[in-house]
Structure 1
Amino acid sequence: MNAMMRRAVIATAAVSMALSMAACGKAGSDKKNSADSGDTKSIGLLLPENASSTRYESFDKPFIEAKVKALCPDCNVKYSNAEGSASKQKQQFDTLIAQGVKVIILDAFDAKSTQAWVKEAADKGVKVIAYDRLATGPVSAYVSFDNEKVGELQGQALVDALGAKAAESNIVMINGDDADPNAGKFKSGAHKVLDGKVKKVVYEQSGEWKPTVAGQKIGAAITQLGKDGFQAVYSANDGMAAAIITQLKAAGINVPVGGQDAGLDAIQRIVSGDQAYTIYKAYKPLADSAAELAVDLLQGKDIKSVASASIDSDTDKGIPAKLLDPKVVTKANIKDTVIADGLYKAADICTADFAAGCAAAGLK
């Protein structure tokens, strides 16, 4: 090969290499731009558990998915359930971030542990909506119920169930998980009513939102206080109330027990007389509000029309919030609450085992 031919080959190779490098640079640039823009059609949904309460799979998830689809037909919801594990929920959260999701609806299993990861998400431009529980960290919005009022309603419903005997009654309290800020609000609200209206809270423990733990704690209360040592039981939710009632029945104790969440099984226990009341937090308005906030944030819209209130967390102040009102459900108003709202049909409640109770309650 002569000198002229060598120069031609080298020149051709140089041009080819330059073109190749330019193409690689362009491809890399496209990839980077794609990552920066994120997933503008997906909304993450992380719910905390599915053992202590059936509400998350039965109501929150399908209601949120339906509302998102109605507001944004080409949007989709990427859903995971933590199944009672804070570490699992953190992994699920990290996965959504890695996938480029820009809005996450987070019902934190352990709200106190979220500060660092919510901040990391915010630093990457990811908006987090605290759902039901007020997660720590710079969340963009919060949607829930007035949780201290929930506790007040629980306390008053227990007093009402005791009637004239309330002032001479000792109470056992099985609270929610100490890691859940809502549990503290429920407890505070309940004490606000119970303290001064009942004789004394003689035993108080956390049931950790776990029916098995709640069952163990009520068993310990029976051993410590005796069968006649208390006249009512406050349970922070229905899942724990079910386990408590089972233990009380086994010990031959019949006292008022209340709960929260208005699960179908709880409504049936109210019909049969095993449970005194539950707290109904209308899931559809809650879920719809979360979906509206998520779509608005995804599309860069102002959220003040939905989150018109504000609330402070342990780490941040002035968080835009939407707070809804809870309701007490007793045998007397099942028809006017969970049935009237379409949460359940009378036929759902009044299966063969509960036919007599339903007839007495006027449900058909």
Structure 2
Amino acid sequence: MRRVVIGTAAVSMALSMAACGKAGDKSSDSSSSDNKTIGLLLPDSVTTRYEKFDHPLFDAKVKALCSDCKVEYANAAGDAAKQAQQVSSMITKGVKVLVISAQDSAAIKSSIQTAVDKGIKVVAYDRLAQGPVSAYVSFDNVKVGELQGQALLDSLGSKATTKSKVVMINGDDADPNAGQFKKGAHNVLDGKVDIAYEQSGLWKDTVAAQKMSAAITQLGAKKIAGVYSANDGMAGGIANTLKGAGIAGIPLTGQDAELAGIQRIVAGTQSSTVYKAFKPEADAAAQLAVNLLEGKSIKDLATQTLTSGSGTKVPSQLLTPVSVTKANIKDTVIADKLYTVADICTSEYAKACKAAGLQ
């Protein structure tokens, strides 16, 4: 009741002040700072990229494009129900555009529909959410999987035969990207090696470690030629399991170019990762969000069309991923200033760095 009284008084005051305001006066033109509020919802804090790179890079680009825009941020911490609540909170806060990397692309559909019904434009970020999404920005995810598969074959070399047993630990099926990575990897690996064990690691290092342990029990430590891991986080758990089982010198893929993944590549316990430059993706999402906020066209930005799991045809902007091995660390993540040599070459990795030509 107290809010109603205050609200009524505020409306009366606003009407009387509006009569005195000058045309073009910012204080009278903008009834609320929420008129230029953009929401950013990211899926988890386990994958280091979201908190360390995506959030601050997106925020900085929005501010550069629109000095009076405000970014509201929340992280779902791997909880789809929590992300749905965060969408509701963003609606209450009056965001005009919502950029969301869905924890569960199907589960978030009704929340996105509710936001759109309130007049909010939605941009799917990195993962193509279901529902009436206005735009999508990500990387060519099938290409990511193909790069991972090819890097595994390259590492196997002459050992890549139809009898070579490979373990595949895929991402979470609730993430549509996981299916695309898997598809790309199969495009390259099928018919070249024997995918003898394949499971989801749910994007969790602990789950991936458990699956790897089960694969070793099922196949035998000496029978495993290589491991496909869909990302670096899971590769960390897998690498620990391999070490514990006395398995060394076999290829292990990854994705996201996490610092720990790069360090494992230097040390030789991981063979490759896929670098999806965070800044171009965050910048692209910010540009799409600001354009939608300001009522500008996005046709020159989102030049491709993808169909989401709900059948929605979504204007999309897809960026190009890059495979990273020990041979091109300098030319990729270091050249782009994602990490410095000092970041990578801590005392634990100094000897390996020197051998790799990084120091």
* TM-score, reference length from structure 2: 0.90
Greater shift after overlay, 185-194 or 308-317? 308-317
Question: Which residue among 262, 270, 280 is the counterpart of 2:257?
Answer: 262
Q: Which residue of 1 aligns with 2:93?
A: 99
In 2, are the aligned partners of 1:177 and 1:183 still within 8 Å (CA)? yes
Letter in 1 for 2:263: Q
CA distance in 1, matches of 2:11, 2:344: 62
Question: Which residue among 114, 135, 138 is the counterpart of 2:129?
Answer: 135
Q: Is 1:343 aligned to 2:338, yes or no?
A: yes
Could you say what secondary structure the match of 1:301 adopts?
coil
What's the CA shift string for 1:55-88, capped at 9, x where partnerless?
1011101110110110111112111110010011
Cα distance change of structure 1 residues 238 and 26 upon mapping to structure 2, 3 Å threshold: closer
Q: Which residue of 2 aligns with 1:246?
A: 240
Shift of 1:38: 8.5
* TM-score, reference length from structure 1: 0.89
Question: Which residue among 50, 67, 71 is the counterpart of 1:73?
Answer: 67
Q: Which residue of 2 aligns with 1:156?
A: 150
Cα distance change of structure 1 residues 225 and 128 upon mapping to structure 2, 3 Å threshold: same
Identity %: 60
Q: Which residue of 1 aligns with 2:79?
A: 85
**How many pairs are equivalent?**
338
Cα distance change of structure 1 residues 345 and 79 upon mapping to structure 2, 3 Å threshold: same
Q: Which residue of 2 aligns with 1:314?
A: 309
Shift of 1:99: 1.0
In 2, are the aligned partners of 1:310 and 1:319 still within 8 Å (CA)? yes
Q: Which residue of 1 aligns with 2:188?
A: 193
Between structure 1 and structure 2, the one with the greater Rg is 1
In 1, are the aligned partners of 2:87 and 2:115 still within 8 Å (CA)? no
In 1, are the aligned partners of 2:262 and 2:344 still within 8 Å (CA)? yes
CA distance in 2, matches of 1:210, 1:270: 20
Pairing 1:271-290 to 2, within 5 Å after superposition: 271-290=266-285
Q: Is 1:295 aligned to 2:293, yes or no?
A: no
Q: Is 1:111 aligned to 2:108, yes or no?
A: no
Q: Is 1:355 aligned to 2:319, yes or no?
A: no
Q: Is 1:327 aligned to 2:322, yes or no?
A: yes
Q: Which residue of 2 aligns with 1:16?
A: none
CA distance in 1, matches of 2:13, 2:85: 28
Could you say what secondary structure the match of 1:39 adopts?
helix
Q: Which residue of 2 aligns with 1:7?
A: none
CA distance in 1, matches of 2:227, 2:165: 9
CA distance in 1, matches of 2:91, 2:278: 27
Cα distance change of structure 1 residues 246 and 24 upon mapping to structure 2, 3 Å threshold: closer
Q: Is 1:146 aligned to 2:125, yes or no?
A: no
In 1, are the aligned partners of 2:80 and 2:108 still within 8 Å (CA)? no
Shift of 1:191: 0.5
Shift of 1:317: 3.6
What's the CA shift string for 1:160-184, capped at 9, x where partnerless?
0100001141100000001110000
Q: Is 1:184 aligned to 2:183, yes or no?
A: no
CA distance in 2, matches of 1:356, 1:42: 49
Could you say what secondary structure the match of 2:116 adopts?
helix
Letter in 2 for 1:252: G
Q: Which residue of 2 aligns with 1:4?
A: none
In 2, are the aligned partners of 1:238 and 1:263 still within 8 Å (CA)? yes
Could you say what secondary structure the match of 2:309 adopts?
coil
Pairing 1:44-55 to 2, within 5 Å after superposition: 44-51=39-46, 53-55=47-49
Could you say what secondary structure the match of 1:111 adopts?
coil
Could you say what secondary structure the match of 1:113 adopts?
coil
Shift of 1:300: 1.0
CA distance in 1, matches of 2:149, 2:12: 63
Q: Which residue of 2 aligns with 1:8?
A: none
In 1, are the aligned partners of 2:147 and 2:185 still within 8 Å (CA)? yes
CA distance in 2, matches of 1:195, 1:205: 16
Q: Which residue of 1 aligns with 2:159?
A: 165
RMSD: 2.0
Could you say what secondary structure the match of 2:221 adopts?
coil
Letter in 2 for 1:133: R
CA distance in 2, matches of 1:247, 1:152: 25
Letter in 1 for 2:305: S
Letter in 2 for 1:294: A
Could you say what secondary structure the match of 2:222 adopts?
coil
Q: Which residue of 1 aligns with 2:35?
A: 40
CA distance in 2, matches of 1:26, 1:68: 31
CA distance in 2, matches of 1:175, 1:184: 8
CA distance in 2, matches of 1:74, 1:265: 37
Shift of 1:27: 4.0
Q: Is 1:207 aligned to 2:201, yes or no?
A: yes
Unaligned segments of structure 1, at least 5 residues: 1-19
CA distance in 1, matches of 2:192, 2:144: 17
CA distance in 2, matches of 1:282, 1:152: 17
